[in-house]
C-alpha cells in the first residue's frame, strides 16, 4: 500500500472516500466507513469476485455521456464481457397490457425481429421483469445476449433474493452466452420508476441498432429513441395494425348475462348455490416459471392466454381450488365464494386498475351451499377496523372491510373456506360449471365430467324447488 501513500487504517478510509467520491458513489455508502466495515466489505468483495462478478468502467462501454448523465463511472457485470464489443441490437416496445395471447400482434412482430437479429449475428440487448423484455430474452435464449438489470446485479444480492431471481427468471437465459450488467450498487436502490427508466436508457445506449415495436407517442421509449436518433443510431420502427393497438391497462368488458328470469327465481338460485368466480391470470400461473410461461405464448399453447376460461379449466383439471391470502386479512389462505348468482354479480363488475383486471368475469364453479357448509364454509363478517380487532385470531381470515371510499364490499355477499378446496370431496351432483355461452359449454364439457351450463341456461333452469331441470 505504500506506493499509494497508505500507512494506516485512517489513510485507507480517506483513500476509499476519495475514490468513491471520484466515481460518484453515493455518500451514504461510505460516510460511516470504519475498520470493521472495511474488513466486511473486503470479505464480501472477495466472495463476489470468486463467484464471477467483475467491474466494468463506463469508458469501456462507450456509453454516450449526454444520454446517460448521472450514472456512476463503474458498472457491475457477470458473464462474458466480450459480448459487449460485438454489434448489438435492442428490440424495444412500449409498455404492454398484462393480458397477453399468442395471437397478439406485438408478440408476432417481436418473434420475427428476434429471428432477424439472430440470423444476422447480432448480440441482443434485453432485460427481464416486464413483458416486452421477458419475451425478447426468452426468444434469444442460447444466443449472445446482454441483459441490463432493472436493479442491483442479482448475483450481488443476499442469498435468498438471488435464489428467488434464479427461480423466477433463471430459465430465461443461457448463462454461458449471457452477460448481466447493472449500474446500481448494493444498498438502498433508487425508486422502481427511476430504475426502470435508467434500464431502458442503458438498453438503447448499449445497442448499435434499435428495432422498435409499436411505440406510443410521448412515452418513455419514444423519448429514448429520439435521443438515440440524435446520436445517429440506426432505428427502425414497426407499428402494429390498428386492431392490435391497445392502451395499457384495458381489456374487453366481460360478456353480460342475457337472462330473462325473475328476481324471485334468481334469489332461489342464490340460496341454493355459492359461486367461486374465476378471473384471468396475467403472467405465469402460480408456481410456473417465467420461461415456461413465455415459451407457451411463443409456441401458441391453447391455454397460454391465461384467460378466466383457462383458469376455470385449470382448476377442473387439477380438481383443486387453491387458497390465496393476497387480498384478505388473517394469516391463512382462503377460497372465496359469493352468494350472488352471475346475473346479480354483473352489477358489481368494475375495472380494478390496481390489479389490472376486472373484478368479476362470467366463469364460475357453482357449489351447493349445503355441501360447502359441511366442508367448513363460513359467511364473511363485514365491518370496520374495530370489528376486525375484536375478532379472535382464528376468525380474522373471514373478515372483510364493509366499505371503502370507492366500493361497498358487503354487496359481494362473500363466503370463505380456509385452505385449498378439493373438488373431489364434493359430489358431482352438487357442482355446476358456468361459462359464458353455449359454444364454451361444448369446449368445457369435453374436459370435465361435471355439469356445464352457459350463463343463460343456468339462470333459465332454476326452479323454486331449488333444483335444476332440463
pLDDT band at 59 (very low <50, low <70, confident <90, very high): confident
Listed residues 244, 273, 293: the one ending a domain: 244
pLDDT band at 185 (very low <50, low <70, confident <90, very high): confident
Task: Give the whole-angstrom CA distance, residue 434 versus residue 450.
Answer: 10
- Domain-embedded: residue 253: no
Query: For the range 460-465, what are the long-range contacts, defined as Cβ-Cβ under 8 Å and sequence gap of 24 or more?
Result: 460/259, 460/260, 460/261, 462/261, 462/265, 462/266, 462/268, 462/269, 462/272, 463/265, 463/268, 464/264, 464/265, 464/268
- Domain-embedded: residue 230: yes
Task: Give the whole-angstrom CA distance, residue 461 versus residue 470.
Answer: 7
Q: Taking the CB of residue 89, how many other CB atoms lie within 10 A of it?
A: 26
Residues 300 and 438 reside in one and the same domain: yes
DSSP string across 345-365? HGGG--EETTTTEES--S-EE
Residues 294 and 311 reside in one and the same domain: yes
C-alpha grid cell for residue 352?
380494478
Q: What percent of the chain has pLDDT over 70?
A: 83
pLDDT in tens, 412-433: 889 999 999 999 999 988 999 9
What is the DSSP secondary structure assignment for residue 157, as one 8-state letter? S
Residues 277 and 355 reside in one and the same domain: yes
Strands 451-454 vs 74-79: parallel, antiparallel or unpaired: unpaired
Task: Give the whole-angstrom CA distance, residue 335 versus residue 398.
Answer: 10
Residues 34 and 59 reside in one and the same domain: no
Among 86-90, 290-294, 458-462, the least confident range:
458-462
- Domain-embedded: residue 90: yes
Among 111-120, 197-206, 241-250, the least confident range:
241-250
Residues 74 and 35 reside in one and the same domain: no
Q: Can you tell me whether residue 232 is helix, strand or coil?
A: coil
When divided into structural domains, the chain yields a total of 3
Q: Can you tell me whether residue 301 is helix, strand or coil?
A: coil
pLDDT over 60 (residue 356): no
pLDDT in tens, 301-345: 888 888 888 999 899 988 999 888 776 777 788 999 998 887 776
Residues 96 and 193 reside in one and the same domain: yes
Residue 31: domain span = 1-45
When pLDDT is averaged across residues 170-192 and rounded to a whole number, the result is 90
For residue 93, the domain's CATH number is: 3.40.50.450
- Domain-embedded: residue 254: no
Task: Give the whole-angstrom CA distance, residue 154 versus residue 47.
Answer: 14
Query: Structure pTM?
Result: 0.75
pLDDT in tens, 140-151: 999 999 999 999
Residues 25 and 75 reside in one and the same domain: no
pLDDT over 90 (residue 177): yes
Mean pLDDT score of the chain, rounded to an integer?
Answer: 82
pLDDT band at 376 (very low <50, low <70, confident <90, very high): very high
Residues 300 and 449 reside in one and the same domain: yes
Task: Give the whole-angstrom CA distance, residue 326 versus residue 328.
Answer: 6
The per-type count for the chain, helices as H runs and strands as E runs, is 16, 21
- Domain-embedded: residue 466: no
List Cβ neighbours of 246 (8 Å cut-off, separation of 6 or more). 97
Task: Pick left, alpha or beta for residue 88 (phi over 0 → left; psi -120 to 50 → alpha; otherwise beta).
Answer: beta
Residues 231 and 280 reside in one and the same domain: no
Residues 18 and 59 reside in one and the same domain: no
Amino acid at each position: 500500500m505504500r506506493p499509494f501513500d497508505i500507512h494506516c487504517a485512517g489513510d485507507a478510509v480517506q483513500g476509499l472516500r476519495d475514490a468513491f467520491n471520484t466515481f460518484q458513489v453515493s455518500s451514504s455508502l461510505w460516510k460511516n466507513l470504519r475498520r470493521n466495515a472495511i474488513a466486511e466489505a473486503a470479505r464480501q468483495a472477495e466472495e463476489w469476485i470468486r463467484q464471477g462478478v467483475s467491474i466494468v468502467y463506463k469508458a469501456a462501454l462507450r456509453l454516450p455521456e449526454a444520454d446517460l448523465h448521472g450514472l456512476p463511472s463503474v458498472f457491475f457485470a457477470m458473464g462474458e464481457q466480450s459480448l459487449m464489443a460485438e454489434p448489438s441490437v435492442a428490440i424495444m416496445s412500449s409498455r404492454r397490457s398484462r393480458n397477453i395471447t399468442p395471437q397478439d400482434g406485438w408478440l408476432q412482430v417481436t418473434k420475427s425481429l428476434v429471428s432477424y437479429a439472430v440470423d444476422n449475428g447480432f448480440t441482443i440487448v434485453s432485460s427481464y421483469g416486464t413483458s416486452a423484455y421477458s419475451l425478447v430474452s426468452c426468444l434469444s435464449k442460447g444466443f449472445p445476449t446482454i441483459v441490463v438489470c432493472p436493479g442491483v446485479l442479482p448475483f450481488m444480492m443476499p442469498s435468498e433474493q438471488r435464489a428467488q431471481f434464479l427461480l423466477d427468471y433463471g430459465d430465461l437465459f443461457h448463462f454461458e452466452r449471457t452477460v448481466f450488467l447493472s449500474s446500481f450498487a448494493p444498498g438502498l436502490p433508487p425508486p422502481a420508476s427511476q430504475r426502470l427508466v435508467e434500464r431502458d436508457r442503458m438498453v438503447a445506449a448499449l445497442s448499435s441498432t434499435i428495432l422498435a415495436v409499436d411505440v406510443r407517442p410521448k412515452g418513455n421509449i419514444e423519448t429514448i429513441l429520439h435521443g438515440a436518433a440524435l446520436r445517429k443510431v440506426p432505428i427502425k420502427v414497426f407499428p402494429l395494425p390498428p386492431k392490435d393497438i391497445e392502451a395499457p391497462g384495458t381489456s374487453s368488458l366481460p360478456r353480460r348475462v342475457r337472462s330473462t328470469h325473475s328476481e324471485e327465481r334468481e334469489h332461489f338460485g342464490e340460496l341454493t348455490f355459492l359461486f367461486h368466480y374465476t378471473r384471468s391470470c396475467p403472467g405465469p400461473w402460480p408456481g410456473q416459471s417465467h420461461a415456461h410461461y413465455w415459451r407457451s405464448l411463443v409456441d401458441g399453447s391453447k391455454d397460454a392466454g391465461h384467460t378466466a376460461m383457462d383458469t376455470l379449466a385449470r382448476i377442473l383439471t387439477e380438481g383443486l381450488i387453491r387458497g390465496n391470502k393476497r387480498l384478505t386479512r388473517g394469516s391463512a389462505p382462503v377460497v372465496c365464494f359469493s352468494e350472488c348468482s352471475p346475473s346479480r354479480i354483473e352489477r358489481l363488475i368494475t375495472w380494478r386498475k390496481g390489479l389490472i383486471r376486472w373484478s368479476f368475469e362470467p366463469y364460475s364453479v357453482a357449489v351447493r351451499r349445503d355441501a360447502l357448509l359441511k366442508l367448513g364454509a363460513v359467511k364473511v363478517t363485514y365491518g370496520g377496523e374495530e370489528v376486525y380487532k375484536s375478532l379472535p385470531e382464528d376468525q380474522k381470515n373471514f373478515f372483510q372491510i364493509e366499505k371503502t371510499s370507492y366500493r361497498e364490499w358487503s354487496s359481494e355477499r362473500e363466503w370463505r373456506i380456509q385452505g385449498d378446496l378439493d373438488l373431489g370431496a364434493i359430489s358431482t351432483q352438487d357442482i355446476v360449471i358456468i361459462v359464458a355461452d353455449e359454444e364454451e359449454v361444448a369446449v368445457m364439457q369435453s374436459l370435465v365430467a361435471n355439469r356445464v351450463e352457459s350463463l343463460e341456461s343456468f339462470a333459465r333452469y332454476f326452479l323454486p324447488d331449488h333444483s335444476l331441470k332440463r
